[in-house]
Amino acid sequence: MTLWLTLLGMGLVTYAIRLSMMVLLERVTIPNRMRQALRFVPLAVLSAIFVPELLLPAGHVDLSPGNARLWAGLLAIVAAGLTRNVLLTIAVGMGALWILQAVLR
Amino acid sequence: MPTSRSEFLSGVRAELPILLGVIPFGLIYGALARGAGIPAGPALAMSSVVFAGSAQFIGAELIRSSAPALLIVLTTFVVNLRHALYSASVAPHVKHLSSRWKWLLAYLLTDEAYAVTITHYMEKSDPTHKHWFFLGAGLALWGSWQSSTAVGVFLGASVPASWSLDFTLAVTFIALVVPALKDWAGLAAALSAGLVAVLAAGLPLKLGLFLAALIGIVAGLMVEGLRET
């Protein structure tokens, strides 16, 4: 019973957070300053998720040539800049990772 | 002109590459939740009631160590705080929708659905049916999360770590972020957020991620402010 209540509590707080701003910002005109700030949300959050995946694959900073994720990620960044194509970038990044892992092993 | 149906399908399609990384994650969650002593019913239910990968992993871990329910709920709150930023970020785009749509889309507002949806919202195309894209991306993720979790719960299956499928999430985010870096302010936001996330990686409960996002947003605003003066 406690377990189910815990689950329900976890679900409710998660849902409340996700719904919060959609409802709070419903009737107000969003100030210009905030609109500017919101433009940076995806860039900031997504970078904060992927950069550590490249630099700390094992939980500590690894800039060595043996860090396959770092080099594969850098190649993916180049591919994304040049092609602006999501699928191609994923193919380059994953392909590079598999080749580097095979070579570096 | 895009129709609701074509937007929905584009949303599903945009989500597909990310699913490659999400499915192994779901399998592992399912196996881990059973390993933590959670019965199959609640382990499965967590995926639909909570529907948030990292919070579910941490939740299962805390349930295993018999942490008090209130602590588990509070931890979930902190781990998922970043979703408030997503909610604010999509708010102007869903403002015109009915409450029913907002309630549904809020339920589907995960990292993975947000990433492709906000990218689509920022493209300069007809916005009339873009909430269908959101729905398509969200449901594609939802379906694969529920089914991979179920397989993990019942079979305990896993994908060999050497396939490194978890890396698809990082490369997908690279593919979404890099083409969106159109000015110095955006670059400052991305770089400073990435740097802070690395420096603050040791903080518990994904607080490092939240802090990094906030600092990235402030950095972007400051650079934009400099340019204007």
Please give the ipTM for the structure prediction.
0.86
Q: How many domains does chain A have?
A: 2
Is there a single domain that holds both residue A31 and residue A51? Answer: no
| pLDDT tens readout for residues A10-50 | 999 999 999 999 999 888 777 878 888 888 988 998 898 89
Q: How far apart are CA A75 and CA A89, in angstroms?
A: 9
**Token code pair at residue B206:** 């994904």
Q: Per-residue confidence at B229, pLDDT binned at 50, 70, 90? A: low
User: What range does the domain containing A90 cover?
Assistant: 40-105
Higher pLDDT, A71 or B172: A71
**Test mutation, A12, A26, A51, A82, chain B, max B CBs within 10 A:** A51
Nearest to A40 among B105, B189, B196 (CB): B189
Instruction: Check whether residue A47 and residue A79 sit in a common domain.
Output: yes
CB B88 to CB A7 under 8 A? no
Cβ separation A21–B102 shorter than 8 A: no
| A79 shares a domain with A29 | no
Average pLDDT, chain B: 89
A6/B63 Cα distance (integer angstroms): 9
Cβ of B160 under 8 Å from any chain A Cβ? no
Q: A67 at the B interface (CB within 8 A)? A: no
Q: B182: how many CB neighbours lie within 10 A of its CB?
A: 9
* Residues A33, A48 within the same domain: no
Tell whether A44 and A1 lie within a shared domain: no
pLDDT digits (tens, 9 = 90+) for B87-102: 999 999 999 999 999 9
The residue among B77, B121, B104, B126 whose CA lies nearest residue A42 is: B121
pLDDT at B53: 85
Answer yes or no: do A13 and A50 share one domain: no
Q: Are residues A54 and A88 in the same domain?
A: yes
Q: In 3D, which of A45, A69, A93, A53 has the Cα closest to residue B109?
A: A45
Residue B67's pLDDT is 85
Structure confidence by residue, pLDDT tens digits, B47-62: 999 999 888 988 888 8
pLDDT of residue B158 exceeding 70, the answer is no
- Angle at alpha carbon of residue A76, lines to A74 and A81, rounded to 5°: 100
Q: Which residues of B62-99 are buried (b: 16+ CB within 10 A; e: fewer)?
A: bbeeeeebeebbebbbbbbbbbbbbbbbbbbbbeebee
CA A105/CA B164 separation, integer angstroms: 14
Q: Is B186 helix (H, G, I), strand (E, B) or coil?
A: helix
Verdict on whether the full-model pTM lies above 0.90: no
* The residue type at B225: G
- The whole-number pLDDT of residue B165 equals 76
pLDDT at B210 over 90: no
Q: Please list every residue in chain A whose beta carbon sits closer than 8 Å to the beta carbon of residue B33.
A: none
Domain boundaries, chain B: 4-162, 181-229
Nearest to B47 by CA among B31, B35, B62: B31
Let me know whether A47 and A32 are in one domain.
no
Q: Do A15 and B106 touch (CB under 8 A)?
A: yes
From the CB of residue B192, how many other CB atoms can be counted at a distance below 10 Å? 23
- pLDDT at position B180 over 90: no
A64 vs B: CB within 8 A:
no
Residue A29 and residue A46 share a domain: no
Nearest-by-CA chain A residue for B81: A17
**How far apart, in whole angstroms, are the C-alpha atoms of residue B119 and residue B60?**
32
Say if residue A54 is in the same domain as residue A96.
yes
User: CA-to-CA distance for B56 and B72, rounded, in angstroms?
Assistant: 10
